[in-house]
Amino acid sequence: MKHVLKMLDLSPEEITQILDLADQLKYEKKHGIAHPYLIGKSIGLIFQKASTRTRVSFETGMNQLGGQALFLSARDLQIGRGEPVQDTARVLSRYLDAIMIRTFDQKEVEDLAEYGTIPVINGLTDFSHPCQVLADLMTIRERFGSLKGVKMAYLGDGDNMANSLIVGGLKTGMVVSVATPDEYKPDPIVLDFASEYDTFTWTNDPYEAVKDADVVITDTWASMGVEAEKEVRQIAFAPYQVNDELMKVAKPEAMVLHCLPAYREQEITEKVFEEHADEIFEEAENRLHAQKAVMVLLMKD
């Protein structure tokens, strides 16, 4: 594992390795056991998209590992003024030990990895959100003890979260069902990958997807970059709201997860969100532990 660019690149064994180390680091953090595995290391955090959880978890995580994190906004870098990504990659490779980038285009992440000589971590693109999904898988595994055979239902937009959850879930032995409107399906590359698994279903019927689910997951209907489509999307996604009626067809003790930020009474009701708030904020915390595991595995000598 040289980089974490998208879930499609990770093997089942690599995902398990990340989750196992994340569990260990979480245990150590909870019990006050220091783990300065990255003393003397530096990671650059490039943000073309705003963030709460990504920035704070990476900066805090790197600090807890004994290293240094540098916040690099697009407006502060020459990349924001037209410098080619390949030049930025080659320069930063001479200063840093790794790069995390949160941006729009998946190709930008791939180019950083191709032209640089240090590990690159995808903090989010329009195609993939591997760090979030690693935290999701960690949270689900904590609850059930294993991922194999656990049914995960995702509802809403076939966005970066849907793409990454499908791949991560199937690679770890989960049963994955996804419900989206016809015009908002997951990426064709991901659907092609998923077609090889008899444990995957796509439908435009949210009740069919959620039936007997162990885990129900949703995301905002208008992610960064598509805010102009908000009104159209609210109409298209209204039937996919996670609410009491929908949860009746899931298993009685089903989890509900949301990568946040959550827009209550849109993709999820206030009632369902608050009933599952402990799970959702455990999921948010696990961003810290999963990303620390990724950084250690990529950067530790």
Torsions phi, psi of 199, nearest 5?
A: -100, 10
- Can you name the residues that pair with 11 across neighbouring β-strands? none
Portion of the chain with pLDDT greater than 70, in percent:
98
Q: What is the pLDDT of residue 75?
A: 77
pLDDT for residue 85 is more than 90: no
Check 157, 259, 276, 289 and give the catalytic one.
259
The SS3 of residue 199 is coil
What's the whole-number average pLDDT of the chain? 96
What backbone phi and psi angles, to 5 degrees, belong to 283?
-60, -45
Residue 253's nearest CA partner among 144, 176, 169 is 144
Catalytic residue among 48, 64, 106, 132: 132
Q: What angle do CA 52, 54, 55 make, to 5 degrees?
A: 70
- pTM listed for this prediction: 0.96
CA distance 222 to 116: 33
Residue owning tokens 């569990």: 23
Query: Is 233 designated active site?
Result: no
β-bridge mates for residue 257, sequence order = 217
Residue 192 a catalytic site member? no
Choose, from 141, 258, 287, 289, the residue flagged as catalytic.
287
Residue 80 predicted with pLDDT over 60: no
**Catalytic pick among 3, 53, 129, 233:** 129
Q: Quick one: pLDDT at residue 81? A: 66
Is 258 one of the catalytic residues? no
Question: Is the per-residue pLDDT at 224 higher than 90?
Answer: no
Tell me the per-residue pLDDT of 174-196, one tens digit each, with 9 for 90 and over.
999 999 999 999 999 999 999 99
- The catalytically annotated residue of 219, 233, 241, 291 is 219
Catalogue the long-range contacts made by 148-151 (C-beta closer than 8 Å, 24 or more residues apart).
148/172, 148/173, 148/174, 149/173, 149/174, 149/175, 150/174, 150/175, 150/214, 150/215, 151/175, 151/176, 151/177, 151/212, 151/213, 151/214, 151/215
The active-site residue, picked from 102, 233, 258, 289, is 102
Catalytic residue check, 289: no
pLDDT in tens, 53-68: 999 999 999 999 999 9
Is 75 marked active-site?
A: no
pLDDT of res. 50: 84
